[in-house]
Chains A and B, each alone.
Chain A
Amino acid sequence: MGIKENIEKHLDEPDAKELFEKIYKGYEDSGVDGIVEVLEEEAEKIKEEFEEIKSRIEKQIGG
């Protein structure tokens, strides 16, 4: 059994499994830096919406 399967058998939640698959794909494609890229991209998705709301609020504070 390969490393991917060894880890996947412990992943019970579907969204954790989905995220791990992305991480592993990043690793397969570009190694350690590929993982960083995948995670930063996922984080960016949430951050982008956060930043949009934040900038609107900051404008309000700025008066």
Chain B
Amino acid sequence: MLSITKVIVKGFRGFVKEGEFEFTTPITILFGGNGKGKSSLLNSIEWCLFGSNCIGKNTGIRERVDWEVKNRNSKECYVKIEMEENGKKYTVKRVWKSPRKDELYITMEDGRTIDGEEAKKELIRLIKNFSFKDFLTSIYQHQEVIRFFLIQEPKERNEAIDRLLGLYEYRNIIDGINKARIRGETLQNEIDSISKQIKAKIDVWREQINEKKKELNNKGIRDSEISEDGARNLAEDIKNSLEEFSQQIKLDLTEAFRNADVSDFAKFSKLAKSEITRLRSEMPDIKEQRKIFDEISKIEKDLNDYKDAQDVFTEKNKLLEEFIQKNGRIDELEENKINKENEIKEKENEKKKISLFGSIIDAVIDYLESVDDKNTCPVCGTEKVGLFEGLKKDYEEKYKKYLEEINKELETKRKELKAIDSLISEYRKKEEDKRKSEGEFKKVSENIRNKWGFSERDDIEKSLKNLKDRYEAELKKIETKVKEKQEKLNKIEEDMDNLSKIHEVLKLESQMEKARDIEKSEKWRELQSKAEEFKKFAEKIEHIKNLINKASQEEAKNKIESVKEKINEYFTTITNHPMISQVNFEVGEASTGGNSYEFNDQNGKSVIPILSQGNLNSLALSIFLALAESQDSPFNFLIFDDPSQSLGTSEKSNFLKILDKIAENRNLIISTMDKEFFDLSAVNLTKQKIIYRFESWTEKDGPQIKRS
């Protein structure tokens, strides 16, 4: 039998760095809290031996769905197991490459390393074709199985027992079949739905036919006329009416319409509608009517233009008159301007004279200022005491003041002149506006006179209004004629509408007939035959499902039969239950399909209602131990992952005693987080052992382990 002597693991699940573990003693205990890496080590053994077979939904282990093999903080991932059988040593190494790919290497006893398909074949030979399913049933006690066993729901427990018995694949296949949701009645339901649709359609059509017939009756069409013959006769009448009308208005019908077949409703209807539209627009009275409309529009436009030009001219004239009223006529303004200019000239001359005289005095003052003799006039030579001071005083008081007054007056007069200039400009602008608007008004008037032939003496507005009245009277006469003709065409159109309705009724009646015949047709029979075929297909699937259940039940029975005595022995030893001296394991069929398991006591009564959680775990462990013993296994070791869940102290001791006995022949790898169980193992497990303490775990380094 194969025994594991060493496991080297790196980058697998909770492991980041490389860890090395020896399994050279009969018992190896992995002790530590939750999430410290114990299960990762146990899982690494599975993965190395079974690769992708131990991953995903098909394993029957819920935790394995979306399982990440490689640790995210490690660059590489591999597991190496050193094994021994009859003194021969083998090393199996599995290297992770991607989520879907790994590589297998085996180093043989002669030191040769093989890989690929050769390594896969060699591994199968080494483990004697032992499957992952067998490994789960009889080598590796999974904590998840125990957890589900402890759940009080029968469905979950049945599933856990199926897994303990290695029957999870039967469940997987049935799950897959159920998930496909093939329902035999699906297609028949669709046929029923079509049948209902047909009936509903017929009802709607019948309703529509009745409505349309009622409308036609109200328009005087009798039921007997709502027929193929009736439709043809009405189409003939329409054709004749249109011919008669076209002759009346002296227009020809198109050749296509004249030759149209009244039985071909769609074509006839299209041509007739097109003819009616054409006749409506090309009728001579309509043309005349349009012409008069155009003339009236032109008169209205001219009338508006005339009034607009007249209004503008009146307005401009009014503005000029108001200006004159306020500021005087242009000749008066121009006279004011000349007067003002003369006044300015006079003032300027006065200023010039004063300026000349002032400049002489100023020059004398300047001279006297520069000489010592300030009493002799440099112009006339007259001597006068105080001449310089006197001149200076006069210059300041009289001349300078006077000049300032003249300048002020000049400034005022210039402003007045500017204001007169501005009024003259404004006058000229207003006069120009009046002249232009008058010109425009004359031009518009001239154009209208020429256009409509009015004389110079005619009042344009009055003449235009008279002309408009004449045209409107003419229009009224034509309108009466047009109305009569339009009414005739309306009547033909009404007949067209009736014809269209008759055809709709005929079409609906034909559709209704066809729909009634569908369920008697060959196609309908084909449809039903397909629905029948589908029903048989679903029945076949159901039959297969029943047979899978039967096979699963049969295999469960065979397995239970071979181990039931052993289960009873282990269970009564571990629990020592006062009310249960014997437990019988039976299999039946669950009402929902699949296996249903029962555990009865010595009196044939179910023990489940009186079992504690610890008792239930004892039962699960008993089934596992019994199966592990009954299987012809290639491995000489058993793996227990957290086996003491909910066990009482005495149950733990009793279980450990059983394990100690098993350890006489097989190596045990026991993982636990239970301190009491761990302490009890020191007393109850008498064989040599290695203890690995999983003390802590960090994201960067993985588990921190101490060996003792």
List the interface of chain A (C-beta within 8 A of B). Answer: 3, 6-7, 9-11, 13, 15-16, 19-20, 23-24, 26-27, 31-36, 39-40, 42-43, 46-47, 49-50, 53-54, 56-58, 60-61, 63
Contacts and interface: CB of A to CB of B under 8 A. Distances in A.
Nearest to B176: A35
Nearest to A41: B180
B515 A32 contact: no
Contacts of A26: 176
Contact of A32 (B57, B187, B526, B550): B57
B544 A23 contact: yes
Interface in B144-198: 169-170, 172-173, 175-177, 179-180, 182, 187, 190, 194, 197-198
Contact of A47 (B172, B173, B180, B187): B187
A43 B551 CA distance: 25
B27 interface: no
A11 B514 CA distance: 47
A61 B172 contact: no
A27 B180 CA distance: 13
A19 B541 contact: yes
Contacts of B531: 50
B180 A35 contact: yes
A54 B190 contact: yes
A23 B173 contact: yes
B537 A56 contact: no
Q: In the complex, which of the residues A24, A26, A34, A63 has the most CB atoms of chain B within 10 Å of its own CB atom?
A: A63
Contact of B180 (A10, A24, A40, A57): A40
A34 B197 CA distance: 37
B527 interface: yes
B523 interface: yes
A49 B187 CA distance: 11
Interface of B: 56-58, 169-170, 172-173, 175-177, 179-180, 182, 187, 190, 194, 197-198, 201, 507, 511, 514-515, 518, 523-524, 526-527, 530-531, 533-534, 537, 540-541, 543-544, 547-548, 550-551, 554-555
A25 to B, nearest CB: 12
A32 B58 contact: yes
Nearest to B59: A31
Q: In the complex, which of the residues A3, A35, A43, A49 has the most CB atoms of chain B within 10 Å of its own CB atom?
A: A3
Contact of A43 (B170, B182, B518): B182
A53 B526 contact: yes
Contacts of A20: 544, 547
Contacts of A39: 176-177, 180, 182, 541
A32 B179 contact: yes
List the 8 closest pairs (A to B, CB-CB), nearest first.
A35-B176, A39-B180, A50-B530, A32-B176, A10-B547, A31-B58, A63-B511, A6-B551
Contacts of A46: 187, 530, 533-534, 537
Q: In the complex, which of the residues A33, A56, A61 has the most CB atoms of chain B within 10 Å of its own CB atom?
A: A61
Given A50-B531, A63-B511, A57 B194 contact: yes
B172 A31 contact: yes
Main secondary structure of the interface of A (DSSP, over half): helix
Q: In the complex, which of the residues B175, B180, B511 has the most CB atoms of chain A within 10 Å of its own CB atom?
A: B180
A3 B533 CA distance: 29
A56 B543 contact: no
A47 B551 contact: no
Contacts of A61: 194, 197-198, 201, 515, 518
Contacts of A53: 523, 526-527, 530
A3 B170 contact: yes
Contacts of A40: 180
A6 B540 contact: no
B177 A23 contact: yes
B534 A27 contact: no
Given A10-B550, A39-B177, A54 B543 contact: no
Contacts of A11: 544, 547
Given A27-B176, A31-B58, A31-B172, 10 more contacts: A3-B170, A13-B543, A16-B547, A24-B173, A31-B176, A40-B180, A50-B530, A57-B194, A57-B518, A63-B511
20 contacts: A3-B555, A6-B551, A7-B544, A16-B540, A16-B547, A26-B176, A31-B172, A31-B176, A32-B57, A33-B176, A35-B176, A35-B179, A39-B182, A46-B187, A47-B187, A53-B523, A53-B530, A57-B523, A60-B514, A61-B515
A56 B180 CA distance: 28
Contact of A34 (B176, B514, B537, B550): B176
A13 B539 CA distance: 13
A13 B537 CA distance: 13
B297 to A, nearest CB: 51
A7 B547 contact: yes
A35 B544 CA distance: 13
Contact of A6 (B179, B180, B527, B555): B555
Contacts of A43: 180, 182, 534, 537
Nearest to B166: A3
